[in-house]
Amino acid sequence: MSIQIGQQAPDFKLVSSDRTEVSLSDFKGKKVVLHFFPFAFTSVCTTQLCTMRDNFGYYDGLNAQILGISVDSPFTLAKFKEEEHYQFPLLSDFNKDASSAYGAIYSQFAFGLKGVSKRAAFVIDEEGQVIYAEVLEAASDLPDFEAIAEKVK
């Protein structure tokens, strides 16, 4: 079951694309937008993160941090971030702990792959409470970017 609005967001420690450890608690006092995505370099995942990249300026001055999370390795995410010019951290949930804690994981995915992050978006307020939660079953669907922006505002 995925995390619901009003719940305390589970903390995590993940390795970023620049190979540093990042925790959700590092951003206490800021709103955090978590974007879970299945795989780097795939078309819908690229669209999801490029939409956030292209609207990144919207979040300036709103005391908000965007984080992208997938089960890809930090090395794959580093290349993805470099090629797509993302201004926000990409975090490796290689061990699937965060995806599982947020209920954003496929037990069975395409090609028989197991333990792949679902496409999902969460907005967490300055005190660590979930104020927006969207977990998509179809990997071809995109999150509601307008609803996310509205919750950050």
Residues with a catalytic annotation lie at 45
Burial (CB < 10 A; 0-12, 13-18, 19+), residue 142, is middle
Q: Helices in 55-135 by DSSP H: which ranges? A: 74-84, 97-101
Which pair of tokens denotes residue 31?
Answer: 């709103």
Q: Alpha-carbon torsion 128, 3, 24, 54, what sign?
A: negative
CA atoms of 80 and 29, how far apart (whole Å) = 29
